[in-house]
Each structure stands twice: as C-alpha cells, then as structure tokens.
Amino acid sequence: MRTKLLDLRTGGTESITDITDMCRDFVSEGGGDGLLNVFVPHATAGVTIMELGAGSDDDLLALLGDLLPKDDRWRHRHGSQGHGRDHVIPALVPPQATVPVVGGRLELGTWQSIALVDTNVDNPSRHVRLSFLTGAG
C-alpha cells in the first residue's frame, strides 16, 4: 500500500474542490491494478464522486442547504451560526470513496470526478489521505 496526504485550502465559503487530477497523478506514479481509497479525516467534510461543473456542484451545495439549513436548530453549537449542520454532512456525503485502478488509471466514468465537499467555513485547512491498495506484495 502507498499513501499520500494532500493539504488543501478550501477557503471561507462552502466549496466543492475537484481533486481528480491529484488522485490521477498519485495512482499513475506506481502503475498497476488496485483500489484508490480517498479519505478525509474531518468531522465536517466528505468525499463524493460526481459530475462537476455544468452546475452540478452548485446543485449539491444547494441541496445540502435545503436539507440541512444553516440556522439555530442544531444541538451541536460552536463556531459560526448553523455550524452544527456541518457535523451532519458526513452522514450524507461520506468521508471516503474507493475507485478501481487498472493499469495505473482511475476507472471513472466519462463525467465522473472525485471531489472534497466542505461546508465548514470555520476551517479552510483540509487534509485528504490517498491510499493505493494493490493485491501484489
């Protein structure tokens, strides 16, 4: 298994950050077949595989805003208003995703990208752990 830690700045606004190229570069370094696991070790962020651009990322943020409004209903209270909802996000957008790799290439569909979903405006520093698991020893 090979691993790499990505250090990202997501800014002070809710964001979806495309990390597909970073993942692609990582798995191409060693080539081979296996699985890429993408994991974000944060309680207020997640990883998704979806089409990005063409409005899809804005649609996802709007959906999360509709489902989980940033208001005072949340029992988890610290940080900016509605921050408690950020702690619920990983239940809907999990903190990990796994992608097959064949011949050192991600086996994503034509319109699929790997993205970090971060709604926590209080913490713009994020880490993403990439792990490439192969069957060969």
For range 65-82, the mean pLDDT: 82
Structural domains in the chain, sorted by start? 2-133 (2.60.120.460)
Instruction: Summarize pLDDT for 38-61 with one digit per residue, the tens.
Output: 999 999 999 999 999 999 999 999
Helices (H), 1-137: 20-30, 56-67, 89-92
The per-residue pLDDT for 136 is: 61
Quick check: 28 pLDDT over 60? yes
Question: Where do we find the tokens 């990983």?
Answer: 90
The per-residue pLDDT for 40 is: 97
Residue type, position 89, single letter = I
CA distances from 107 to 31, 53, 73, 99, 101 (A): 13, 20, 41, 7, 6
For the chain, what percent of residues have pLDDT higher than 90? 73
Q: In what order do the strands lie in the sheet containing 15-18?
A: 15-18, 113-118, 45-50
CA–CA distance, 136 with 95 (Å, rounded to integer) = 27
Quick check: 137 pLDDT over 60? no
